[in-house]
Amino acid sequence: MERYEELSVLLEREAIEQEYTWNLEKMYASVSEWKRAFDKPRSWPSQQEYEANLGAPAILLNLLDKVFAEQRELENLYIYANHLYDTEMGEVVSKEISLQIKAKYMSYGQAVAWIHPCILRLPESPLTELIEHPSLQPYRIFLQNIARMRPHTLSPEEEALFARSLKPLSSIAMVFQNLNNADFVFPSAVDEKGEERKLTHGMYIQYLRSQDRTLRRSAYKALLGEYASHQNAMVELLQGSVLADVYTATAKKYPDCLTAALYPNNIDPKVYHNLIKTVRAHLPLMHRYISLRKEYLGLSSLKPYDLYVPLVSSEEFQIEYADAREALLASLFPLGDVYREEARKGLYEERWVDVYETPKKHSGAYSGGCYDSYPYILMNYHPRGVDGAMILAHEHGHSMHSKKSREMQNYANAKYPIFVAEVASTLNEQLLLEYLLAKASTRQEKLYLIGYAIDQLRGTLFRQTLFAEFELQMHEWAEKGVPLTPQLLHETYARLHQEYYGPDLSLDDLLGFEFLRIPHFYSCLYVYQSATGMSAALNLASKLQKNEQSREKYLAFLSAGGSQFPLDLLQNAGVDMTKKEPIVSAMHHFESLVEKLQALLHEVAP
C-alpha cells in the first residue's frame, strides 16, 4: 500500500491501521459504556449543607474530597466524548455525547461556584490554620490560591455584579473571533505563474514559507490589506478589550493590568520586565541574523514576507512518522532509561497518538487526556520538512509532563500552571533538534535544521517578547486615559519591528496593521509566557547535558505538577526566572546558532 504520507486523498478512519490511532477504549469500551457512566445519578454538595461548619477541618475535607471526586469523574466523561468527537466531527453520536457532557460540566460548575466565596468568608486567621492543618495538606495549594485572592475579592453583592459583567465584556473577544475566523473573506493570492490561490489563515502561513516570492508578497498584501481596510473597527474592538482589562484590574483592586494578569500565578512583575529588558539588550544578534538571511536569499531588500521562508526548501527534508518516532526516542537519551522506556511504551504499546489526518478530524495538534487516562496526542502528521517531527516532540513533551504529574500528585495538584506548560514541550523539541543536527550529513541538511532552530527562537523568544512589549504599552496607555487610535498603534507596532529586526528589514505600511490579526492580544498580557517558557527550557536542556543531578531535578519538576507556584517549580529545577540569566543563556544559544549559520553560508564548496 502507498505510504500514508504520500496519499493524495485522505483515507477514511476505518482504513487507518490501529497502531496509528489512539486507544480511547482504555477509558470506555464503547459509547454505550460511556452513556451508562454518564447516566449515573449524581448529587453535588450544596451550600446549605456545608456553609455553617466550613471552618471545621473534617467538614472542609469532606467537602473537597466530594467535589474533586465528582470533578474527576466528569473529566473522564468529558475527555472521552471530546476526543472521540475530534476524530469524527461529522458523526451524530460523538457530537451528541460531546454536547451532553459540556452541558453537565457547566451545571456542575454553577452548582459548586459557592465554594470559593464561602471559604473566603472565613476570617484570615482560621483560614490560615485550615491551610496548615495536617488533614488538609492534599489541598494546601488549592486553599492557598483561594486565600491569596482575599485582597482582590469583593463583597458577595459586588462579586455577583462583577460576574454579571463578564459575559458582555467577553463578547468583545467573541466578536473578534467571529470576524477573524468566519466573516473575513480574503482576496486570492497570485503565484509566479499568475495562477490564483485561495487565501485563508492556514494557507497564509504556508504561502509565507513558499520559495515563490511572488506568492509570498501577494498573500501578505492580500491578507494584511483586508485588515487595514477595517482598521477603525478592529482598533475599537482591541481598545474595548484593553479597557475591559483595565476595568477588571480596577474593580478587583489591583494597581495595574500587569499585576492583575500575573498575580493569580504568583508571578513577580519583574519577570515580565526582565524579559523585555534582556531581549532588547541582545537585539544586535537578531539584526545580525536578518543581515545573514538577506544575504543568503540574495535579496536587495528583505521584506516582512521574506522572514518565514526556510533557507532550504522543506521539500528537500522529509521525515516519515515511523522515522520521527524513532528519532524522538533516540533524542531523549539525556532524560534517562526510565523516561525513554515510558515514552516508547506510550508511542507504541499504549497508543497515545492519533497520527494521520482523516476526513472530519480536528485540525492541528494537541496533548490531551485527563488524570485517569493516557496523555493522548492528536496529530495530523505530514512528513514535509521537520514540522511533523517537531510537533510530535512538542506534544509528547506535554504528555510526559502530564503523565509524570498525574502519577506523583493527587488529583487536586496534578495540573501544572500555564506559566510552566511550555517548558517540557520546548525542551523535547530542543533535544530532537540537537539529535537531528548531530545526524545531519550534508550542508543542505545542516542549513535547513539550523535555519529552523533559529526561526523557532525568532518566532517564540523575540517575536513574542515584541508582542509582550506592544501589549504592555497598550495597557499602560489605556490606564493613563490615552486613546488607542489606529495611527498610534500602527506607528508603535511598526517602530517595534524596526527596533527588533534592525535596518536590514525594509518595512512597508502594511506591517503596521499586522497587530489587528493577533488573537492573543485579546487575552490580557498572556503572550510573554511563550518566551519565558522557551528560555527556561533551553536553560534546562543545557543543564541536562552536564550532570545527572540536573536530570533528577528536571524529572522532579515534571512530577511536581501544580503542587507549587510556577516560579518555585522552576527554581527547584534549577532556573530562576526572576533573574536575567535564563534569558541571557537563551540568547547565547541563539548566538551560537547564528555563528554556525554564518560559517555554513560562507563555507567554500569543495
Q: Just list the catalytic residues.
A: 395
CA 367, 372, 375: angle at the middle one, nearest 5? 20
Phi/psi at 354 (5° precision): -100, 105
Q: Work out the angle between the directed axes of helices 283-297 and 269-281 (0-180°, nearest 10).
A: 50
Cβ neighbours, 10 Å, residue 363: 10
Q: Work out the angle between the directed axes of helices 92-111 and 31-38 (0-180°, nearest 10).
A: 20
Cβ contact 408:443 at 8 Å = no
Cβ neighbours, 10 Å, residue 602: 9
- How far is it, in rounded angstroms, from Cα 570 to Cα 417? 11
> Strands, E, within 424-480: which ranges?
none
Query: Which residues lie below 8 Å from residue 311, measured CB to CB, with a gap of 6+?
Result: 293, 296, 297, 447, 448, 451, 597
Cβ contact 567:271 at 8 Å = yes
- Quick one: which of 418, 370, 352 has its CA closest to 101? 370
List own/partner pairs for 8-16 with CB under 8 A and 24 or more apart: 10/357, 10/358, 10/359, 11/356, 11/358, 12/358, 12/359, 13/87, 13/88, 13/358, 13/359, 13/361, 16/355, 16/356, 16/358
- Quick one: which of 229, 146, 144 has its CA closest to 185? 229
